[in-house]
Amino acid sequence: MRLLVCALASSLFVGHAAILAAEQRSLQPVGAVTSLSRTAEGVQLACADGSAVAISILAPDLVRVRAQFAGQPAAKDHSWAIAKTDWTKTKFQLSETADAITLGTGEVNVVIRRNPLLIEFRDAATGRVVNADHRPIARDPKSGTIGASKKLGFDEHFYGLGEKAARLDKRRGKFVMWNSDTPGYEEGKDPIYQSVPFYLGLEDGVAYGLFFDNSYRSTFEFGHLTQESADYSAEGGELNYYYFHGPSLKKIVGRYTELTGRMAMPPLWALGHQQSRYSYYPDTMLDRVVEEYRKRDLPLDVIYLDIHYMDAYRVFTWDRTRFPDPAALTKRLGEKGVRVVTIIDPGVKHQPPAAGAKDPTQDRDLASSADSYYVFNEGIAKDFFLHRQDGSLWIGEVWPGKSVFVDYTKEEARRWWGDLHRALTDRGIAGVWTDMNEPADFLDQTGKTQMDVVFDDLGQLSPYAKNRNTFALNMARATYEGLQRLQPDRRPFVITRAGYAGIQRYAVKWTGDNNATFPSVALNIPMFASLGISGQAFVGADVPGFIGRGDGELLARAYQVAAFAPFLRNHTAIDQYDKEPWRFGAHYEGIVRKFLKLRYALMPFLYTTIEEAHRTGVPLFRPLVLNFQHDPNTANLDDEFMVGDALLAAPVTRAAQREREVYLPDGVWFDYWTGAQHRGGQTLRVEVPLDHLPLYVRGGSVVPSTVPMNHTGEKPWSPLRFDIYPDANGAATGSLYEDDGLSPAHERGAFRRTTVKFSASQLTLSREGGHATPSRNFEIVLHGAREVNAVIVNGQPLAPAQWTRDAQGALTVRLADNGQPLALELR
């Protein structure tokens, strides 16, 4: 039997290798370079086979490669993913030899071999080849498939690709980009909901990035069946990619998010705890759930309405039997500090009006839609729904039954869809949850029978094959921009299941219909980390899992991970056991309470770190390799994670586990719970009882916090605490970001950034920005402090009653915040 299995495995491998080889042979490589012309941005290469390749220098560390193969029709130079096109002109040097053409920027040298046409990217300072073609770019003229092949480094690691049910390091993996409705996915299931054709390579501490901006179904193989190459192919469209030069991973993520856009600053309440199920109804059920949260001293900011709030699943309508007065409901819950978010699906019920029926002119969302459905009628009248090539409507099937779908590539359709959200905002709804937007279709989840659907696509009338992966991106854009118009004084909050590169500009990402199992909780860590370094900084998963029952132990451990994810939502399926924190008994509820209160205490730190993500693109939830890329021990470490630069968490993701190993990178580390110091560069063996999460603070950090609250808007952050953890040199730096937490006024300078620096017994606290902060008190806590005889503040001794030093050596200084700079000296 063993021999048979081995023989079968061998034959399967040979079969896959043969298929790969056949695919590669069908692609015709671009011809040799015959001439070049210099352009303002780079060079245009003419090739022997009639192809043309443009190399454009967009920034000193950003290069675009775009090919038009022989016989390939010219395409409009437009991408739904790209946010920035107005790059400042970059100086570059052009040189030629008989064999090669070189473009140099000072950071990267792009070397183009003439025959065959091969491109390599070298570090300008060291001359090291960072990334290079293994074979010339190619295309199959019959099928339209395009491909690129890169040399595979002996110890090269691969990260990114957005949402993949896979480990952090994608080396030796094969991954497909095709947005797919995949409930109950497990590790190895591919593709799932989202497609982001961007990855980062890392070898010997040197990183680069590649973004293949092609929304057709595509495949990445990182040495999957070969020792020589990392291969990319797409079933149509352009060979159009961007090279990002490092060597820093953070620098690449920052530049990638500059190109594709960074996440909008979320409202503060979006970082709060959120509760959902499929579905809460009638309205009194929401009152009861919120009441239970408040009675049990469990923080909560948001509650959700799934599809049963609608009139027979018609989007932008209300079921008046279950929800007789939506505005009164949102007002009641708002008075308790809880906001309501509603689901919206893309499928519009296909419902021609009954004879003589007319839509009401006011409160259309509250009226019965049994005979006439205003959304369908308007979409038909304005020709906003998608059609097949023969001119007929594309009629799929989702929750309302037969359904039609909006062509979000039409600007007018996007604006119409966005304005429809008045049915929600006028009733007090705070945010929108976009679901089923792969787009899901119960008749055909694969999309094969939809290939004759045509999108306007800026007048190009492009096929479904090009637009499936960008459908959710454009739907999210329509929703986000609609909320901006409807509520210009509030920051939109949009959640999405599917997406494409650039989705972070418009929506928060949750990882879809996951399982309530320990393997699913373990998978959360690399999935969140991969999404973060793929530009999506605000991510999370259903806690403790959407499908399956789980138990109290799973709930407790799941919250220990989720407490540090930007998006924290408890959610479960309609036919699954309830999973609110109290459902498995007081013991497990107490553990959930502990970690929810920890999250709310750390809200100043989390909000500061999410603002950093908004400003720089570097995510809140990070793989260790993002902070320690020169440490080879972090290259594939994905059962730990970091929150910003300061916190390292090593959660438990296996049932009945009460001990685990924790790797601490180089430096000084403080146990968050005890204050004990540990030397980095070692692996600790740690006991992990059910109520414990190994959590460490990196030396050199300043972590702002406050007291726990029932909801984020309950009261000002007071006392505002700064925990200072010195590094080996006795220094630490950190900051606190504040604004009003709700409006876009921060874009006009209405924010406050407080910077804290500590070194050699001297602490300074400085401010910038125009946001007025309320009266409050400070607590400054210095961990590992030496003996102190006096504390001097702005030149004046502080009364002994205002500072104390505990047995663990933590010095606490208490004083009022007068809004002025602060200089503190320890003597």
* Tokens at 736, concatenated: 């606190």
For residue 763 the two structure tokens come to: 């602490």
Asked about 640 being catalytic, the answer comes back as no
Candidate list 438, 456, 639, 739, residue with the active-site label: 438
Residue 573 DSSP SS3: coil
138's CB contacts (< 8 A; 6+ apart) are 24, 27, 28, 29, 30, 146, 147, 148
Q: Which helix (H) or strand (E) holds 15?
A: helix 2-26
Extract the tokens encoding 309: 């709030």
Q: Identify the active-site residue in 41, 513, 612, 739.
A: 513
In the chain, how long is the greatest CA-to-CA distance? 89
CA distance 497 to 205: 33
Q: What residues contact residue 727 under an 8 Å CB cut-off, 6+ apart?
A: 667, 668, 699, 700
Pairing relationship of beta strands 499-500 and 194-195 according to DSSP bridges: parallel
Phi then psi dihedrals of residue 45, to 5 deg? -105, 130
513 is known as an active-site residue: yes
Count of CB atoms within 10 A of residue 180's CB? 21
The dihedrals phi and psi of 588, each to the nearest 5 degrees, come to: -75, -35
Whole-angstrom distance between the N-terminal and C-terminal Cα of the chain?
77
β partners of residue 660: 686
Give, as one character, the DSSP assignment of residue 617.
-
**Beta-carbon contacts of residue 780 (< 8 Å; ≥ 6 apart):** 721, 722, 724, 763, 812, 813, 815, 824
Place of tokens 């921009």: 481
438 annotated active-site: yes
65 contacts 259 by C-beta, under 8 angstroms: no
Pairing outcome for strands 508-510 and 494-496 = parallel
Bond into 704 cis (ω within 30): no
Amino acid type, 392: S
Catalytic residue among 120, 435, 481, 553: 435
CB contact at 8 A, 516 and 579: yes
Q: 3-state class of 469 per DSSP?
A: helix
CA torsion sign for 598, 604, 605, 611 is positive
* CA-angle at 159, arms to 181 and 607, nearest 5°: 80
Q: Are 586 and 618 in contact (CB under 8 A)?
A: no
- Contact between 129 and 120 (Cβ < 8 Å): yes
* Rounded Cα–Cα distance for residues 286 and 132 (Å): 57
> DSSP per residue over 673-742, as a string?
TT--EEESSEEEEEE--TT---EEEETTEEEEE----SSTTSS---SEEEEEE--TTSEEEEEEEE--SS
Q: Please tell me whether the peptide bond between 719 and the residue prior to it is cis, using omega within 30 degrees of 0.
A: yes
Give catalytic residue positions: 435, 438, 513
